[in-house]
Structure 1
Amino acid sequence: MNSSDQGLAKPGRPEPIKAVPVRHPGRWAGALVVLVLAAMLLHALIYNPAFKWDVVRDTMQDDTIISGIGTTLELTLFAMLMGVVGGVLLAIMRLSPNPLLSGTAWFYIWVFRGTPVLVQLVFWNTLGSLWQNLSVGIPFGPSFWSENTNTLIPTFTAALLGLGLNEAAYMAEIVRGGIQSVDEGQSEAAHALGMSRAATLRRIVLPQAMRVIIPPTGNETISMLKTTSLVQVISLTELFTAGHDIYSRTFQTIPVLVAVSIYYLIMTSILTVGQYYIERHYARGANRTLPPTPLQRVRRLFGGKPAPKEHDVVPGLEGGGHV
C-alpha cells in the first residue's frame, strides 16, 4: 500500500438517528379521565344497593321475560323481511321510468315516513272500526269471500303490519341509494350484451350495491329490535312489556329494567357481530383494506400475523381478486 492510499480516510458508519417519540399528554389525560369514570361506574354497580342484583338474576330467569324475548325476535325477523322485500320493490318502482309506478312509490314513502310508527301501530290495531269486514270480490260489485277484520288482523299481525310497512319506506330509500351508487356504465354494458333490465338488476347492479346497502340495513335491524317495544301500546307482550308487567306488580323498577336492558344488549351485540361479517363478505373485491376480524385483532395484539393490507389477495379470490 502506498502513502497516497494511506492518506485516504476510510468512510465510517453514519451515527444512528436518535428518534424521540412524539408525546401525547392529551391522550394520557383523556385515558385517565375515562379510567376514573369507569371505576366510579363499576363501584356504583357493585355497591349501590338499589340495583339489587339478586332481583335482576331472578327477573332474567322469569318465564314471562323469556316468552317476551321470543316475541321480540319474531317481530324483528318478520318485520325486517317485510321491510327488505317491500323496500326493494318500492326502490325499483321509484326508479322506474313509468311515472305512475314512480309516483305511487313516492306517495307510499311520503306517507309512511311522515307519520310516527306509534300512530301506524294503533291504526292497524283499530282497522276494524273503519271496515268491520274485509272481503274479496269484484270491485264495486258482489263479494265472493268475507271475514271479520279483527279476526283477520289479531294483535300480533297488527304489530307486524305497523312495523314492517313502516320499515319498507325506509328500506326503499336505502336500496335506492345503493342502486344509484353503482355506475351506470355497468347497466349499459349489460344491456349491450343483451341482458334484460330484470337480469341486469339481479345479477349486476344489486350485488355491487350490497356493499352500500348492508351497513344501514344492519342499523335498521338493530333499531327494529328496540322499536318492537312500542307494541306495548296495542297490548302485545314482548320483552319490554313483560318487564313492565313485572315491575308494575313488584315495584322493583330499576332491577327489572336492568335485566331487560341486559337482554337487549346481548341481542344487539349478536346482530352487530353478524352485521360485521356480512359487511366484510361484501367488501371483498372493493379497492380498499378489509377490516380485521376480532380474532385478527387479538393476534396483532400479541404479535401474531398482521391483518391483510391494501391490495393483498383475499382468501377465496386467489384467481385475481384483490382488495
Structure 2
Amino acid sequence: MLSVLTDNWDLFRDGFWLTIRLFLVSAVLSMVLGTVLGAFRVSPVPALRAVGTGYVNTFRNTPLTLVFAFLFFGAAKMDLALPSPYWTAVGALTIYTSAFVCEVVRSGINTISPGQSEAARAVGMTFFQVLTLIVLPQAFRAIVPPLSSVFIALLKNTTIAAGFSVVEAGSIPAAMSERSENQLLTLIWIAIGFLILIVPLMFLQRWAERRTAVA
C-alpha cells in the first residue's frame, strides 16, 4: 500500500501543492468579495442591495461545475481573454464561494443590535464608518464556525478543477491509471491527504472560536 504513495510521490506532491495554492488564493479572494457583497446586502442603497441579492441568488443556486464550464468554455465563445487554467479555476472558485461567504457575513451583521448602528449614525458617522469600525469587527466574532465550514467546503471543491485541465489532487487518479497503479489505493491516499489538510482547519476553527469568544 505504501509503495503506491512512495513510487508516485511526484504526482501526489505536485497535485496537493496546487490544491493548497488554489484553496489559499480562492479563500482570500472569496473573503474579500463576500464581505463586500455582504455589505451590499445590508446597504441603505436599494441598487446595492439588489446587486448583492441578485449575485447570491444566482451563484448559490448554480452548480459549481457550470461556473467552471462557463469560464473555461463559455468565456472563449464570447471572445473574453482569460489567463491560465490555474487562475481561471481560482476565478470560478472565488465567484462561487463568495456567494456563501456573503450570506455568512450578512447573518453575522444581523446579530448586531441595531441600536449600535443608530447611535453611531446619531454622532455623525457614515454608513461605511459604522460598518467597518463597529459592525464588522463584532460580526466576525459570530461567524467563525459557519465561515470555517464554507472554507472546508471550498477545499473539497478544488477537486472539480481536475476536470478542466488543472493538475491538482483531483487529477491524480487519471495520472495513476496511466501508470497502471491500483485505483482503490490511490483514492485512499487522496482521502488521507485531504484529511491531513482539513484537520488543521478544524483545529484552527476551534482556536479562533476561543480567541473571539465573548467573556
TM-score by length of 1: 0.63
- Contact 1:55/1:255 (CA < 8 Å) preserved in 2? no
Please state how far the C-alpha of 1:97 moved relative to its aligned partner.
2.1
Please state how far the C-alpha of 1:261 moved relative to its aligned partner.
1.2
Q: What is aligned with 2:176?
A: 246
Aligned letter for 2:122? A
Aligned letter for 1:182? I
Correspondence 1:65 to 2:15: no
Correspondence 1:182 to 2:182: no
Over the aligned positions, Cα root-mean-square deviation in angstroms equals 1.6
1:219-262 deviations in Å (ceiling 9; x for gaps)? 11111111100111112110121243113432401111111111
User: Secondary structure, in 3 states, of the residue corresponding to 2:137?
Assistant: helix
Aligned letter for 1:187? S
Correspondence 1:76 to 2:6: no
Q: Which has the larger radius of gyration?
A: 1
Q: Quick check: which one's helix share is greater? A: 2
Please state how far the C-alpha of 1:214 moved relative to its aligned partner.
1.3
User: Measured at CA, do residues 66 and 216 of structure 1 come closer, stay the same or move farther in structure 2, by a change above 3 Å?
Assistant: same
Q: Unaligned stretches of 5+ in structure 1?
A: 1-52, 135-148, 287-322
User: Secondary structure, in 3 states, of the residue corresponding to 2:179?
Assistant: helix
1:91-134 deviations in Å (ceiling 9; x for gaps)? 111112222111121111111111100011011011443222x4
Give the stretch that moved more between structures: 172-181 or 93-102.
Answer: 93-102
User: Secondary structure, in 3 states, of the residue corresponding to 2:143?
Assistant: helix
The separation in 1 between residues aligned to 2:201 and 2:114, in whole angstroms, is 33
Correspondence 1:109 to 2:80: no
Q: What is aligned with 2:2?
A: 54
- Contact 1:155/1:234 (CA < 8 Å) preserved in 2? yes
The separation in 2 between residues aligned to 1:98 and 1:194, in whole angstroms, is 18
Q: State the identity as a percent.
A: 31
Q: What is aligned with 1:121?
A: 68
What are the equivalent positions in structure 2 for 1:143-162 lying under 5 Å apart? 149=81, 152-162=82-92
Please state how far the C-alpha of 1:77 moved relative to its aligned partner.
1.0
The separation in 1 between residues aligned to 2:103 and 2:134, in whole angstroms, is 19
Give the stretch that moved more between structures: 184-193 or 71-80.
Answer: 184-193
User: Secondary structure, in 3 states, of the residue corresponding to 1:250?
Assistant: coil
Q: What is aligned with 1:211?
A: 141
The separation in 2 between residues aligned to 1:129 and 1:163, in whole angstroms, is 18
What are the equivalent positions in structure 2 for 1:13-28 lying under 5 Å apart? none
The separation in 2 between residues aligned to 1:99 and 1:192, in whole angstroms, is 22
Aligned letter for 1:184? P
What are the equivalent positions in structure 2 for 1:33-48 lying under 5 Å apart? none
The separation in 2 between residues aligned to 1:196 and 1:179, in whole angstroms, is 16
1:31-80 deviations in Å (ceiling 9; x for gaps)? xxxxxxxxxxxxxxxxxxxxxx2334425x61121011111011111111
Q: What is aligned with 1:95?
A: 42
Q: Which structure is higher in RCO with an 8 Å CA cutoff and minimum separation 6? A: 2
Please state how far the C-alpha of 1:202 moved relative to its aligned partner.
1.2
TM-score by length of 2: 0.93
The separation in 2 between residues aligned to 1:244 and 1:203, in whole angstroms, is 50
The separation in 1 between residues aligned to 2:178 and 2:209, in whole angstroms, is 41
The separation in 2 between residues aligned to 1:120 and 1:189, in whole angstroms, is 42
